[in-house]
Structure 1
Amino acid sequence: MSTAYNNYLLRDVHQQYADRKIEIEKAFASKEKMIAYRDDCIQRYKKIMGGLPEKGNLNARFTGSSAYEGFRIEKIIFESLPHRYVTANLYIPDGEGPFPAALQLCGHGLGGKIPASNSALLFAQNGIAVLVVDPIGQGERIQFIDDESNTLTRGATTEHTLLNAGANLLGTSLAALEFWDNHRAIDYLVSREDIDKNNIGAYGSSGGGTQTSYLIGLDERIKVASVCSYFTQREKVLEVYGPSDGCQHIPYEGKEHLEIADFVLMMGPKPVLILSGKYDFVDYWGATQAFKELKKGYTALGSPEKVSMFSVENGHGMPKPKREALVTWFKKWMLNDDTPVVETELFHIPEEDLQCTGTGQVNSAIADNISVPDYFLDEAKTTEEQRIEFLKNDLKTITGKVNEILCIGNELEEIFPEQTGEIKMRTYDIQKYQIIRPEQMPLPCVLVLPGNITPESQITIFLNEGGKDEILSDARTMESYANQGEILIVADLRGYGETSDPLSLNDTKYWNREYRNAMISKHIGKPIVGQRVIDVKTILDFVDTESILKGRIVKIKANGTYGPVAVHATFLDERISKTEITGSIKSYTEFLKNPMQRNVYSNVLYGVLQYYDLKDLIEISGKNRIRFLD
């Protein structure tokens, strides 16, 4: 195990953000250039976000209200899409209104909007209404529950990450789903007579800060915003801490040169406040450097006073000093009142005054609610017609799209095999190689040459997810191939065996042994499947350059997470005569049918189910050319 593969991927991260740094520095030169930069960021954001659904009727329902001194709390349920129910609490001041209103987006607590929001209470006491929304996977919207409505995962971050894999296969993300729910929450706010539809804001802390950042640049109705305990530099996070939860990443952000600061800049020059803790696990140095960019951007736009950063001698979340600064900021821009807000009283709100459904979960309480996993399955059925139509194209067109989804270019550098060792066994020889292809990870592989090679001897490329050493140490397997006179190539494609990422650097809550490298690969626009297909091509080129190997029939034997790599490689390269796979998925829709499984991200391709499934490639490759042995 080593960190070499991660370091290799981070080179692209750093280069992409170095290029972005040049771009934004040029934009600081004038208001016109800054506007052009901001607008281009918005277009690049829309490009990677995927399409958004059509709006339907919200079918909002009121399920109860509780009165307190100076305000009340209403329990609201609305449909962001038909049969997708969103639960929310509206904290609204006493009086007739119309009141300015803010959307509060929750952090990653399983309770979501429960317990009561202290910041929403403080807003309501100061004349500003707040709608607190349960995100997918939190509060009353947990997706993986048992018959008694108890969660089946350790927490919201795990559920978000598992759900995001399915979303990515369909060409969207959990961040985009959250965006839509939050966008529709604003639709609900502006539909009310007691809300000032021209005076809407948004804020959130932690995971809510993520949602806020993804929302404010695309919803023009938002007039003022604040991001708490999330704002920093993505580049810094990926390098030092690794990728965050699935809902905090949209594939190809790095490829499109989008930093966290860019998502906030998209709403410029409208007022925005950054709230940070000096001892937060969200990197504070990164926050200060990213804020410098915000300040320069707002200065170029002619409104430096509309962006501010407030830091506290504290850690993660929104303690009292942050809440006071937050409400003071919103009052300044919403009510033209910059009097400092002082929090003097915290109310105890019983849970029953906040819960909108009878069971505490929409999946069990509302008969026609469609869970997010079921929604993904419905979407897969919808895109099936699109896939059928796409697959009517000629082979060249289909192959081009497959390469595009894998992010494989047309030209690869020449390979340079280097023999690093040799061992002579009783019935076969072992030759160790490192195959170099410029700009690709070095590929460690072992060539096993039996003593009874004939002109008819074939080659088997063995891709074992447990690593090549697991095969090489299996005497029975080695003797079996040698006795048959079959040549064996055992390789560790990048991320396996010799280059596997240390498990200690991949949080177990993400259910993936190589989560950080899988997510970074999607971030930079080079999915791991595509990178590993290049590695297979490298082995095939090695076969073509070695006189003892050239011209022989080549087969692949793969297992586990290597399966989709082997399918793609066989479809794309005719040098592979036959592929046999065990212990692997046969269709990407299997991920959608069973989202609670491990190591999914290793094989996720963004938007693949809009064009093809694995079974389609298997069929096009020819009868029995790719077979599953189990």
Structure 2
Amino acid sequence: MEGFGDAIDGYVDVEDGMARYVLARAEEQFADARAEKRSIDSREEFERRREDVRAAFRSSIGGLPDRMADPSIETTGRLDRTGYAIESVVFESRPDFHVTANCYVPDGRGPHPAVLFLCGHVDDPKADPYNQRACIELARNGFVVLIVDPIAQGERLQYRDPETGEAIVAGGGGVFAHCYAGQKCFYAGANLARYMIHDARCGLDYLEARADVDGDRIGATGSSGGGIQTLYLAALDDRVAAAAPCCSVTTRREWLKTGKRIDAEQSIPAAIPRGIDYDDLLTRMAPRPVCVGAAASDEYFPIEGSREAVDRTRRIYDLYGAGERVNFVVADRPHCSVYELGDGVLEWLCERLGDDEYTSHEDVPIAARTELRCTPAGSVREAYPDERTIDDLIREYVAETTPGGTGSDDGVESDPSGMRDAVIETFDLDREGCELSPRVVERTTVKGLDVERLWFKTERDPDAVVAGVLVSDPRSAADGPAVVLYEGGTEELPARSDDVAALAAEYGAVLVFDPRGVGAVRNREIPIPTWVEDYYGIYGTEFKLAYDALLLGTSLLGMRVYDVIRAAEFLCQETGGDRVSFVGEGTGATHALYAAAAARDVDRVALRDMAPSFAEMATDRNPPFRPELTAFDVVRTCDRERTLAALARRNVAVESGEPSA
């Protein structure tokens, strides 16, 4: 038996099906948010919305950790330069979790204005020449500047083989490690941003405590990922007196249209329906001064969106009579650093926080990487025997937020409908479907089996197209049909014909099914970034679709589980059965498990070669990275063991085993 040819044998073009679906869903919500913002015509209305956005943002990242009452702070070195010095500093942001930083200190007793310099994705950000130059320029203009290594960058690398020292997860100046850790955070109901923002807040604590810093004049700046951190910090911490996020501001609509990926800490669950756009983070500061730095040819943050976000921000600031406090600096460059944007941003910081007019300097000496180290070997994990990792913090978060602990049935309601409700809510399954209108592409008989290749839609406006091969064995007396979910869907035919025939004999009829984006309805490879070759890897097409779904407040996994439930509905209608079974393999086993948990009248579930539980993927040291299984807050609500226990209470038979040959 065969699968499908291109475009479901020429019936419907599905190559951009998932990408179109996501954008269409988002457009409705973007329109609602625009209308809501345009209706705001008073400070009171804005401030009500602002507090709602702030609360939604904090909730979406899992809240923020408590700041330590008495963190350790060490100054481990000092370089004296003309007009300033560079101190090497290490401080704790959590117990046994150290942050490495360089503090650029101008001559004179002060008190000086200060800037927290937040770094983007550079392997060794403190030593980056452009970052050094920006810090030096600010120091020579009278600022104390603290530049910190983000998690998994510089001296804070996280994923290393303990025996060889080789990187287990590396690349992209920290982005791969961020996405790897960020995936674990999603499962736990948090976001890597909570830890990055917390580190930045502790950086503010450090600056505020210095005797030579004026605590009322502390600003923040950074570019790219550092600009995003600046946005987050300024939105949540009112101690930031002025902020200059650079190469990090656009609108979600303009960004989504490009087909770009987003980093884990930037993927805020439900940001689109909750109205958390870039301008909402900017206006959270109102009326504190803000300067948006942008690159006209930025390949990550479209300039059209940058202009629109600034216009929206200025409109809100006008409600305070403070429109002049919104500044916009545009450089004729591609995506770049704060320093490369030119003098505009640094000049603005001097104007808003400094003592004198900005002066540019030509003789800017760059220090060697080893001179800027805060630890002897350039690694906090080597310097501190009890140093914890981001994985340790995530495990701690899971332990604090998961009732009964992971891997147990403690806390599960005795009524199995409670778990069914939890699965429906977690995976966004309570959605409006459409009438099932199956189109049969071909009917044939193969070795005594009746075979129909067909497709239908599970949702309309926007459309969700699915496909399947229905195989019936007229010789079988079984009357409980099954949905069969291979990891590659119908693309695994005809190689799996023997397995399908055996399943048809066992169940009477089986539907080898392709939920949206799988098998015959797989989305085309989205070639951004151009160097990504793995469809299922970090920054691959599945990653992009899964992270876009998170922004919509749903999940790619949940969408597919929904399709599987509709497939079961179709199968019962087609065969006259009143109960259904599921057979899943690999990723399909996860789809089968949660479809069975959410559907009614389920007979049995066979799970072959199932992925690790969400708790395992959140807390193990080196779990597989499975973007197609991206989902938010699943460890706490409906992880595998709890779901299996609920199925047992419903008398649903569960089988597990190895994949069939």
Q: TM-score range by the shorter chain?
A: over 0.9
Give the match for residue 440 of structure 2.
419
Stretches of structure 2 lacking an aligned partner (at least 5 in a row): 1-13
Confirm or deny: 8 A CA contact 1:75 1:354 kept in the other structure: yes
Q: Quick check: 2:480–2:580 contact (8 Å CA) kept in 1?
A: yes
SS of match in other structure, 2:293: strand
Change (3 A) 1:170 1:477: closer
Q: Deviations over 1:55-78 (max 9, x none)?
A: 212211111111101111111111
Structure 1 residue aligned with 2:569: 541
- Deviation, structure 1 residue 434: 2.1
**Alpha-carbon contact 1:137-1:143 (below 8 Å) kept:** yes
Give, in whole Å, the separation in 2 of the partners of 1:99 and 1:386: 50
Shift of 1:597: 5.0
The answer as to 2:515 corresponding to 1:493 is yes
Shifted more, 222-231 versus 383-392: the winner is: 383-392
State how far apart, in whole Å, the 2-side matches of 1:103 and 1:579 are: 54
Corresponding residue number in structure 2 for 1:373: 391
Q: Contact 2:450/2:471 (CA < 8 Å) preserved in 1?
A: yes
Residue correspondence of structure 1 range 177-256 to structure 2 within 5 A: 177-256=195-274
Pick the aligned partner of 2:646 from 600, 607, 620.
620
Are the equivalent residues in 2 in contact too, given 1:464–1:471 (CA < 8 A)?
no
Q: Residue 587 and residue 529 in structure 1: after superposition, are their counterparts in 2 closer, same or farther (change >3 A)?
A: same
SS of the equivalent of 1:448 reads strand
Deviations 1:440-490 (A, max 9, x none): 613212211224243x34423210111213134534334434566731211
1:544-555, aligned counterparts within 5 Å? Answer: 544-546=572-574, 548-551=575-578, 554-555=580-581
Q: CA deviation at 1:211?
A: 0.8
Q: Tell me, yes or no, if the aligned pair for 2:17 and 2:517 is still in contact at 8 Å.
A: no
Residue type of the alignment partner of 1:502 = R
For residue 419 of structure 1, report the CA deviation from its aligned partner: 2.8
The answer (yes or no) to whether the contact 2:201–2:233 under 8 Å persists in 1 is: yes
* Aligned residue number for residue 65 of structure 1: 78
Q: How far apart, CA to CA, are the structure 1 residues paired with 2:285 and 2:222?
A: 16
Q: Percent identity?
A: 25
Aligned CA distance change for structure 1 residues 514 and 115 (closer, same or farther; 3 Å) = same
Give the structure 1 partner of residue 451 of structure 2. 430
CA contact (8 A) 1:377 1:592 kept: yes
- Which of 46, 51, 58 is the matching residue for 1:46? 58
| Superposed counterparts of 1:391-470, under 5 Å | 391-392=412-413, 394-409=415-430, 412-439=433-460, 441-454=464-477, 456-470=478-492
State the match for 1:471 in structure 2.
Answer: 493
The 3-state SS of whatever aligns with 1:130 is strand
- In structure 1, what is the Cα distance between the partners aligned to 2:458 and 2:634? 27
2:149 aligned with 1:131? no
1:526-605 equivalences under 5 Å are 526-546=554-574, 548-551=575-578, 554-594=580-620, 596=622, 598-605=624-631
Partner of 2:544: 516
- Give distance in 2, aligned partners of 1:512 and 1:391: 36
Higher mean C-alpha displacement, 123-132 vs 281-290? 281-290
* SS of residue in 2 equivalent to 1:217: helix
What's the CA shift for 1:31?
3.2
Partner Cα separation in structure 2 for residue 44 and residue 401 of structure 1: 21
The SS at the match of 2:400 is helix
Alpha-carbon contact 1:386-1:611 (below 8 Å) kept: no
> Structure 1: 5+ residue runs without aligned partners?
none
Q: Deviations over 1:105-144 (max 9, x none)?
A: 0010111212352111100000011100110111111111
Shift of 1:250: 1.4
User: What is the CA-CA distance between 1:554 and the residue it aligns to?
Assistant: 2.9
CA contact (8 A) 2:434 2:457 kept: no
Q: Which amino acid counterpart does residue 142 of structure 2 have in structure 1?
A: G
Tell me the secondary structure at the aligned position of residue 357 of structure 1: coil
Structure 1 residue 203, shift from structure 2 partner: 0.4
Farther off after superposition, 6-15 or 233-242: 233-242
**Which residue identity lines up with residue 30 of structure 1 in the other structure?**
S
Q: Report the CA distance shift for 1:270/1:35 in structure 2 as closer, same or farther (over 3 A).
A: same
Q: Distance in 2 between matches of 1:431 and 1:472?
A: 14
Alpha-carbon distance between aligned partners in 1 of 2:56 and 2:584, rounded to the nearest angstrom: 38
Moved more, 287-296 or 118-127: 287-296
1:16-35 alignment runs, 5 A limit: 16-27=29-40, 29-35=41-47
Measured in 2, the distance between the counterparts of 1:297 and 1:575 equals 53
What do residues 165-184 of structure 1 show as CA deviations (whole Å, max 9, x unaligned)? 10111111111210111111
User: Aligned with 2:270: secondary structure?
Assistant: coil
